[in-house]
Amino acid sequence: MTRKLEKARQYEKKYSKNIQKKERPAFHLTPYVGWMNDPNGFSRFGDKYHLFYQYYPYDTNWGPMHWGHAVSDDLLHWEYLPVALAGDKPYDKNGVFSGSAIDLGNGKHLLMYTGVKETWKKKAKHPQVRQMQCVAIGNGLEYEKYENNPVIDETKLPKNASPVDFRDPKIVRTDDGSFLAYMGTKDKQESGQILVYESKDALNWKFKSVLIKNNARLGNMWECPDVFELEGYDVLLASPQDVTPEQFEGLSGNVPLAAIGHIDKEKQVMYDEDFQVADYGLDFYAHQTVLAPDGRRIMIGWMQNWDACCHRIPKQKWFGQMSLPRELHIVDGKLIQNPIQEIEKYRKNQVLVNQHEIQGTNQKIQGISGRLVDVTFKIPTDAKEEYTQIQIKFAADISKNRYCSLLYRKNEHTLTIDRLYSGNQRAILNQRSCIIDSDASTLKLRLILDRFSAEVFVNDGQKVMSMALYTEQDAQEIAFSTDGKLNVTVEKYDLEI
């Protein structure tokens, strides 16, 4: 084992002991210690789910990237394994960036990742940066980097592709047993494109095609692609940077994309793509999927936003967490996401309140509170209802005016998630909204709270809003405020995981 990897392993083993169970979410994965960003290598291998992640153990800020590693049987209980990769070779000495993993079927697990290398030229103000694709093969615990790495470097780039931004390979197996890998890059106009490479053995790769070009439709660079078939459609997930609000339903910055369309399998070109926002909340990015043994397509994302990393809980010993894994479907061409069914096993202490009248501000309902809960609200939306807006405060301590909230504006058909009053002292990114475009007479909101996060599944997964929470753990109240009068139905469970 290299010194760099050994050092990281010793460090995480020692310092993770300082983090009490209660200081982490109950079922969302956080870094063993230090910093976490993107999910990597989400895969099945040896009867377990494996999830790797962008990892810097030594600090709660981003630093030279490693691959952290955890395994799970049910995607809710995670066991940490030792850090799997460090940047310990000349071609990845500045970091092992995002990528994917695949079961090779011969007892071997293959990781495909981006190696980052910076070279200083004499008198230069900046280093020359190169990103290249590499593989490591292992047994689910220990991984050996391939001797002929990198397997795809700038010499294999098509014309009009950046060797500086060239990353995040997603490897998949095709029906004939060979491999394809999808990765993000920029063209010379600074616009993202997804490249496709093909290989018979996952080691020798050849450029195949440009799957899709951004052509300045959504931001600039597109990172972290994933490609899969779902219910008669082909889906491309990607993470565009620098999106402007007019491009994508009023959202800006890093916005998680799900492009639903069709891929010509021979040519590996996508067409008829419909761009959909994969999550309308404040924190969700770099999402990738795994195929469960029972055929479910399950997606997980980094529940953070690059532009909001300055929101912190003082002295917290970890930073960054994964979202709840979600089951994907497509209905009428639209992506539907719901929490993995496994969570239902842990719903305890049901409280069901039918048609409860809400009038005035900060109304509480007996038995409806908690910070580790799965709660569904049903709100009547008919124009004749005697209210224009309803606000649901959660993770709240009303006496201190601390809360996060969901605000539904009936006439504007908008839902806003907000953490301005959650106790953080930074100015940016406290609120995001989406349009409720269903004409159903009830708005259904399923809210899952896990100490440090909120995820809202709207109308059985038509839209999702996720965000990290920074409020003190004793802020447990749920309260309702409205400018009129309405009856809400609430079904609440504690989550005992």
Please report, as ranges, the residues that interact with ligand FRU according to CB under 6 A. Answer: 37-38, 54, 65, 97-98, 114, 167-168, 223-224, 285-286
362: tokens are 């900060």
Distances (CA, A) of 100 to 39, 40, 364, 459, 478: 9, 5, 45, 31, 39
Distances (CA, A) of 313 to 24, 370, 470: 12, 20, 6
Least separation in angstroms between CB 480 and ligand FRU: 36
Give the count of alpha carbons within 13 A of 457, CB side only: 20
485 contacts: CB under 8 Å, gap ≥ 6: 357, 358, 359, 386, 387
CA distance 443 to 451: 25
CA distance 227 to 410: 37
CA distance 423 to 425: 7
CA distance 452 to 467: 9
Residue with Cβ nearer ligand FRU (221 or 368): 221
Catalytic site residue 264?
Answer: no
CA distance 89 to 95: 9
Residue with Cβ nearer ligand FRU (24 or 167): 167
Residue with Cβ nearer ligand FRU (118 or 386): 118
CA distance 216 to 227: 21
Least separation in angstroms between CB 165 and ligand FRU: 8
Residue with Cβ nearer ligand FRU (114 or 289): 114
Per the listing, tokens 């049910």 go with: 74
Residue with Cβ nearer ligand FRU (214 or 416): 214
Residue with Cβ nearer ligand FRU (286 or 368): 286
Strands 318-319 and 34-45: parallel
Residue with Cβ nearer ligand FRU (153 or 374): 153
150 upstream amide cis, omega within 30 of 0: yes
Least separation in angstroms between CB 241 and ligand FRU: 8
Distances (CA, A) of 196 to 222, 259, 276: 14, 16, 22
Is residue 208 classed as helix, strand or coil in its secondary structure?
strand
Q: Which of 38, 153, 226, 283 is catalytic?
A: 38
Q: Which sequence positions are flagged as catalytic?
A: 38
